[in-house]
Amino acid sequence: MNPEFGRMLGYVREGVEGKKKGTEFVVPEDVRTMQGVWQRADLDYSPVRHELRFIRWDGEVRNGYLTINGIPGSRRVVIALLDITENVRAEKAVQEANRKLNVLNSITRHDILNQLTVLKGNLELEREQVTGPRDAAVLEKELAAAEAIQSLITFTRDYQDIGSEPPVWQALRDTLVRSCQGLRLEPVTLDVETEGVEVFADHQLARVFAILIRNAIVHGEKTTRIRIYCQESFEELHIICEDDGIGIPPEAKDRIFTRDFSLKSGLDLYLAKEILSITGIGIRETGRYGEGAEFEIRVPKGGYRFTQKESPGKRP
């Protein structure tokens, strides 16, 4: 035990070496996990790392980041302990502050939407009584402004949820099934060819596909078929969502994901891009105008894995 290790625990070397077990410094609830980490270190000489809570000599519980390296052929290990208590406290403080802000935002949004409902209801009643074309035009602009405000307030709710939970591994096919809940597909046919693929992404990944599918149905004009499939290309996985609708004009391909463009036509694609970017996933539109839209979601290496032996076909 080196002096820094002793200072962290509050012990002197002579009072620890050969007299205390490593588990005696660990919070009882974490001992079983600690034993599992220890066993892994005995079986594998590569470093084993884990977070745990340890107890100082005065009973204070601290948070630590433990690294164990096994020494080949000796049945001994080298232990390194980093005190991360202040980091954990700061992280919890930020999480609590964010929780309170989210509660405040939720209450404020709810109140604003209630007032907008009242405002729009009165505007609708007034529209029924307006006779002059000039007054009618002014009223239509007021209604459009109220609806735009309502859309923006709703967007803040959706945007707030991005990154609120840690990213997780998600079975792509199951995610696509969830994304279709609440969508009316008929008479459009949806073909899904993503069996055995998992993606590491934000918990709102299903919303991304719901946006793409809904846009194909609503804005495709002549969409009859949507196909979603995967292709592995070099160091990344491409998830393709294509349809046979009208497609995206060339001058709009790069702009549809920007906030300024989305403010005029809806913020869904901007939201989709933001959700994907949480784990470094990109998205672009590669279809041909007049033949259909094609959205290419690009998942970097390490952000996808296969649960079946057969992987998606490689792109030539």
151 and 242 in a single domain? The answer is no
Q: What is the mean pLDDT of the chain?
A: 85
Does residue 15 surpass a pLDDT of 80?
A: no
DSSP string, 193-215: E-TTEEEEE-TTHHHHHHHHHHH
Residue 315 lies in a domain: no
129 and 217 in a single domain? The answer is no
44 and 74 in a single domain? The answer is yes
Exposure b/e, 74-84, CB count within 10 A at least 16 = b? eeebeeebebe
User: Which of 18, 49, 83 delimits the end of a domain?
Assistant: 83
For residue 144, the model assigns a pLDDT of 87
Residue type, 42: D
57 and 93 in a single domain? The answer is no
Residue 313 lies in a domain: no
Does residue 27 surpass a pLDDT of 80?
A: yes
Quote the domain boundaries for residue 94: 88-160
Q: How confident is the model at residue 316 (pLDDT cuts 50, 70, 90)?
A: very low
174 and 290 in a single domain? The answer is yes
140 and 257 in a single domain? The answer is no
- Beta 236-243 vs 168-171: how paired, if at all? unpaired
User: Which of 160, 180, 208 delimits the end of a domain?
Assistant: 160
Does residue 78 surpass a pLDDT of 90?
A: no
CATH number for 69: 3.30.450.20
Does residue 137 surpass a pLDDT of 80?
A: yes
For residue 205, the model assigns a pLDDT of 95
- Tens digit of each residue's pLDDT (9 = 90 or more) over 172-224: 999 999 999 888 888 899 999 999 999 999 999 999 999 999 999 998 889 99
Residue 144 lies in a domain: yes
More confident residue, 234 or 125: 125
For residue 164, the model assigns a pLDDT of 76
C-beta neighbour count of 51 within 10 angstroms:
13
Question: What gap in Å lies between CA 175 and CA 167, rounded to an integer?
Answer: 14
Does residue 100 surpass a pLDDT of 80?
A: yes
Residue 13 lies in a domain: yes
173 and 299 in a single domain? The answer is yes
Question: What gap in Å lies between CA 49 and CA 214, rounded to an integer?
Answer: 44
Question: Encoding tokens for residue 231?
Answer: 């292709």
CATH number for 195: 3.30.565.10
Does residue 101 surpass a pLDDT of 90?
A: no
More confident residue, 131 or 199: 199
User: Which of 135, 160, 185 delimits the end of a domain?
Assistant: 160
- Tens digit of each residue's pLDDT (9 = 90 or more) over 257-315: 987 775 455 688 988 999 999 999 999 999 999 999 999 999 999 999 998 655 565 55
Question: What gap in Å lies between CA 161 and CA 275, rounded to an integer?
Answer: 9
- Beta 236-243 vs 294-300: how paired, if at all? antiparallel
The strands making up 61-71's β-sheet, listed across from edge to edge, are 48-55, 61-71, 76-83
Average pLDDT over residues 139-165: 84
Q: In Å, how far are 118, 191, 315 from 293, measured between CA atoms?
A: 39, 15, 19
Residue 240 lies in a domain: yes
Residue 154 lies in a domain: yes
- Domains of the chain: total: 3
293 and 209 in a single domain? The answer is yes
182 and 264 in a single domain? The answer is yes
Tell me the HSE value of 273 on the side-chain side, using a 13 A CA sphere: 15
More confident residue, 24 or 227: 227
Residue 316 lies in a domain: no
Does residue 60 surpass a pLDDT of 90?
A: no
Highest mean pLDDT among 14-23, 97-106, 183-192, 287-296 belongs to 287-296
- Tens digit of each residue's pLDDT (9 = 90 or more) over 37-56: 767 665 556 677 888 888 88
Question: What gap in Å lies between CA 309 and CA 98, rounded to an integer?
Answer: 42
233 and 197 in a single domain? The answer is yes
Residue 9 CB burial class (10 angstroms; 0-12, 13-18, ≥19): buried
For residue 313, the model assigns a pLDDT of 59
188 and 175 in a single domain? The answer is yes
Residue 311 lies in a domain: no
- Percent of the chain at pLDDT > 70 equals 91
129 and 146 in a single domain? The answer is yes
Residue type, 61: V
